[in-house]
């Protein structure tokens, strides 16, 4: 299993960063290798990617989503792919966006890419393009503020802090460690 975890600080309020991230069909504007995303329903998307000359199509399902806090997803078509993005309010105009992806590289090229850190560089570059995109536009292109509770969690928002970094930067929010969500848990980078 390959894992990538990266973060970036963006100069927009947490709600602006979160709202833009809910606009999946806009991902090709700042994510290299993402050819298209078609939103099938509030929680299902169809992806077409082309990375390192390898084209893939797969479907994902949002397994957990809480406005201004997190979006977790996993693939639904047998491919082992899951991710989570979390949003951390640093102040009124600054947000830390943390992305964690877990997947099983399938072919030799993907395995080599994971081994030499190509995937880490891709995610880091995608986050830099997201920062440029959202800071240059200054506003989100849309928003979906729905709530999706993790499977079997009941009300996942009841114990969540509105500010996951309230106790200081770099401290993990224990409410993010929910193995039932179907997505990986992102720890706050130091």
Tens of pLDDT, residue by residue over 115-166, are 565 577 888 999 999 999 999 998 898 888 888 988 876 543 333 223 333 3
Quick one: pLDDT at residue 172? Answer: 38
Quick one: pLDDT at residue 106? Answer: 67
pLDDT digits (tens, 9 = 90+) for 72-101: 999 998 667 789 999 999 999 999 999 998
Quick one: pLDDT at residue 50? Answer: 84
177-182 long-range Cβ contacts below 8 angstroms, 24+ apart: 178/64, 178/150, 178/153, 180/150, 180/151, 180/152, 180/153, 181/63, 181/64, 181/72, 181/84, 181/150, 181/151, 181/153, 182/61, 182/63, 182/64, 182/72, 182/73, 182/74, 182/82, 182/150, 182/151
Distance (Å) of CA 83 to CA 90, 136, 158: 22, 26, 23
Q: Which residue has the higher pLDDT, 16 or 54?
A: 16
Tell me the pLDDT band of 1, cut-offs 50, 70 and 90. confident
Domains of the chain in sequence order = 2-181 (3.30.530.20)
Quick one: pLDDT at residue 117? Answer: 55
């Amino acid at each position: 299993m390959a894992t990538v975890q990266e973060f970036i600080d963006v100069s927009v309020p947490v709600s602006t960063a979160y709202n833009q991230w809910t606009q999946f069909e806009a991902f090709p504007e700042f994510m290299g290798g993402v050819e298209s995303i078609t939103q099938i329903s509030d929680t299902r998307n169809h992806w077409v990617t082309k990375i390192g000359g390898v084209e893939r199509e797969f479907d994902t399902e949002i397994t957990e989503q809480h406005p201004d806090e997190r979006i977790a997803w996993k693939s639904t078509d047998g491919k082992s792919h899951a991710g989570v993005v979390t949003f951390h309010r640093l102040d009124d105009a600054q947000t830390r966006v943390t992305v964690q992806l877990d997947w099983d590289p399938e072919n030799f090229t993907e395995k080599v890419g994971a081994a030499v850190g190509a995937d880490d560089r891709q995610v880091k570059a995608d986050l830099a393009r997201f920062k440029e995109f959202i800071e240059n536009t200054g506003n989100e292109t849309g928003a979906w503020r729905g709530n999706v509770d993790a499977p079997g969690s009941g009300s996942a928002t009841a114990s969540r802090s509105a500010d996951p970094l309230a106790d200081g930067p770099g401290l993990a929010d224990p409410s993010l460690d929910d193995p039932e969500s179907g997505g990986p848990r992102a720890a706050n980078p130091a």
